[in-house]
Amino acid sequence: MEVELKQLNADLQFLSQSLPDPSHHALLCKIQLRVEELGKLAAAAPVRRSKVEDMSAEVVDSNPYSRLMALQRMGIVENYERIRDFSVAIVGIGGVGSVAAEMLTRCGIGRLLLYDYDKVELANMNRLFFRPDQVGLTKTDAAVQTLSDINPDVVLESYTLNITTVTGFETFMSSLTKKSFCPNKEGSGVDLVLSCVDNYEARMAVNQACNELSQTWMESGVSEDAVSGHIQLLIPGETACFACAPPLVVASGVDERTLKREGVCAASLPTTMGVVAGLLVQNTLKLLLGFGQVSPYLVRDGDVFFILLPELLQMGYNSLKDFFPTMQMKPNPQCSNVACLKRQEEYMLAKPARDAAAKAKMEAEVLSTEEVPLHDDNEWNISVVDDVELDGPDTRSSDVLPEGLTHELPSADEFHEATPDAPVADNDDLEDLRRQLEAINSA
């Protein structure tokens, strides 16, 4: 732009000198002034920052990562730069997903995979991230537009599809398993899947894919009345999957009838969406970068060492009472999802190895701490007793819920498959049945 304007100015200069008729000089001067004006405007236009090769901790105004790298200096994160090796898939780029994507982009995540099939509408403007000038664009395209401007270092992949349809699901699965970004990593092609969708069907599709791929994922949601939400960590085989128990919702604690308006399917607030997105990404960072409170019973090996807060497993948020109910759920041994049962079996088989690793770690810790009595005499035999239960984590069975959580859907009634007359009807022909229906339809 700048070069072209300079060229234009030079041409004008040449023209004004070579023109024999001086009466046009005034006009040429005017044009030259305008070109100069345009040059100034072009210089003021936003410029995209260039890519950054290495994250630097140098504290200068021009370093986009100085405040993030400071987490190392503060002793919160051991190696922040590791964030560039991680891939996160975000399913659903709506009120929660788009904000989560922006947060991870600003944190300098290595790669983001974005999935949505919707378009941006004016009705979305009560939430964060999308702008009115993006109305009509697909949410994935609009997100890539904004995110690549904010941080060009992040590798963005967008998938405009519905993951609940058969073809959409296949593309979803293959995109999660593609290992081009970090070929040396174990597991699937992504480190974490974030489900930010707004319906049960899509959640079940994410659950299915993650169970089949043994992929750790986090579920998030905001209630239809916009005043409560939840996040949940799901590790196939280790924690309850989404099909193990009917989905939980945070009881609002306020009479439901005063909240549910006739005729409106869903309300939304930028505040609740922002809180849930914040909780989700905070826990994503804790999980990926391994910081936060050390919990002895949720340590996972592999190339990434996960240390989790026990509360991280399921957290609700009730904005009307500023209340965060939390719970853990064990997987359901009678889960209806076949892939979930397979993962549960694998997890059980790996138990001896896991116990041995935990024991070795404990012994190493005991050795490193010298046993010196705190006080030389203890005249009254005073001892400090841990108030944590000794018999392990307080894991509840999925049908006992803590205060503030209720089931959204009932579980399926007892179903006996062993009805003897059911499989006998197998000799019908599908094509024949199809023709029968057509015949009735056209009759």
Partner 1 sequence: MEGWDPNTKSTLTQIPLLATKAGPRDGAAWTQRLKEEYKALIAYTQMNKSNDNDWFRISAANPEGTRWTGKCWYVYNLLKYEFDLQFDIPVTYPSTAPELELPQLDGKTQKMYRGGKICLTVHFKPLWAKNCPRFGIAHALCLGLAPWLAAEVPILVDSGMIKHKDDATTSTES
Shortest Å, Cβ 226 to partner 1: 15
Other beta carbons within 10 Å of 169: 17
Binding residue for partner 1 (CB under 8 A) from 12, 15, 28, 118? 118
The bridge status of strand 192-195 relative to strand 87-91 is parallel
Binding residue for partner 1 (CB under 8 A) from 87, 98, 105, 208? 208
Binding residue for partner 1 (CB under 8 A) from 47, 372, 390, 430? 430
Locus of tokens 């939430």: 127
Binding to partner 1, residues 228-267 (CB under 8 A) = 243, 246, 263-265
Q: Does 440 bind partner 1 (CB under 8 A)?
A: yes
Which of helix, strand or coil describes residue 181?
Answer: coil
Establish whether 265 is a catalytic residue: yes
Nearest to 309 by CA among 331, 329, 289, 283: 283
Give me 274's structure tokens: 């922002």
Binding residue for partner 1 (CB under 8 A) from 143, 200, 210, 220? 200
**Measured distance CA(254)–CA(260) in Å, rounded:** 11
If the CB atoms of residues 187 and 246 are measured against partner 1, the closer one turns out to be: 246
Name the one range near partner 1 by CB under 8 A: 42-50, 105-113, 377-385, 412-420.
412-420
Give me 369's structure tokens: 């701490």
For residues 157 and 115, the answer to whether their CB atoms sit within 8 Å is no
**Measured distance CA(17)–CA(394) in Å, rounded:** 89
For residues 240 and 337, the answer to whether their CB atoms sit within 8 Å is no
Binding residue for partner 1 (CB under 8 A) from 195, 207, 239, 314? 207
If the CB atoms of residues 84 and 203 are measured against partner 1, the closer one turns out to be: 203
| Concatenated DSSP letters of 67-95 | HHHHHHHTTS-S-GGGGGG-EEEEE--ST
Beta bridge pairs of residue 231: 220, 315
Q: Does 436 bind partner 1 (CB under 8 A)?
A: yes
Q: Does 424 bind partner 1 (CB under 8 A)?
A: no
If the CB atoms of residues 145 and 336 are measured against partner 1, the closer one turns out to be: 336
**Measured distance CA(312)–CA(217) in Å, rounded:** 12
Q: Does 336 bind partner 1 (CB under 8 A)?
A: yes
List active site positions.
265
Residues within the interface to partner 1 (CB under 8 A): 118, 163-166, 169, 199-201, 204-205, 207-208, 224, 243, 246, 263-265, 336-337, 409-413, 415, 417, 419, 422-423, 425-426, 428, 430, 433-434, 436-438, 440-441, 443
